[in-house]
Amino acid sequence: MNSSARRSMCAAMLVLQAVVLFLTGVVSVGTTDLGAGAALGLGFGLAVLCVVAAGLLRTSVGYALGWLVLVVSIALGFVVPLMFFLGVVFAALWAGAYLLGARIDRERAERALLEEDAHPSR
């Protein structure tokens, strides 16, 4: 099995976060002092950054970008206060996906080694 559980789980979190960040931009048009262009640009830009990070998860750059998006999401709370809460929620989900996915990958690799040792002719 070549798929990485960590990569799949983190990509799912980033795509979900992209939707929330885009919608945050839409909501901030009417609820903040940002202009419509700035609010939509911020939301769309962060959503695109999430998708780019998800696409780069084959490398460590994607994970670093994912962590950066989380920091920016939490900081977005200074513009849209609800984002303090949502940013922390996404940080917890991302950390869970990152750590649990790595554990699953490690256990899969260990199981594959045990199966190879048990059946060397395969």
Give the C-alpha separation, 52 to 41, whole Å. 16
Evaluate if residue 2 carries a pLDDT over 70.
no
Q: Which helix (H) or strand (E) holds 80?
A: none
- In the block, which residue shows the tokens 């869970």? 96
**Domain residue ranges of the chain, discontinuous segments joined by +:** 5-118
pTM: 0.85
Q: How confident is the model at residue 1 (pLDDT cuts 50, 70, 90)?
A: very low
Contacts of residue 50, defined as CB under 8 A and 6 or more positions apart, other chains included, come to 14, 15, 17, 18, 21, 66, 69
Q: What pLDDT does 122 receive? A: 56
Work out the percent of the chain whose per-residue pLDDT is above 90.
68
Nearest C-alpha neighbor of 94 from the set 68, 76, 67: 67
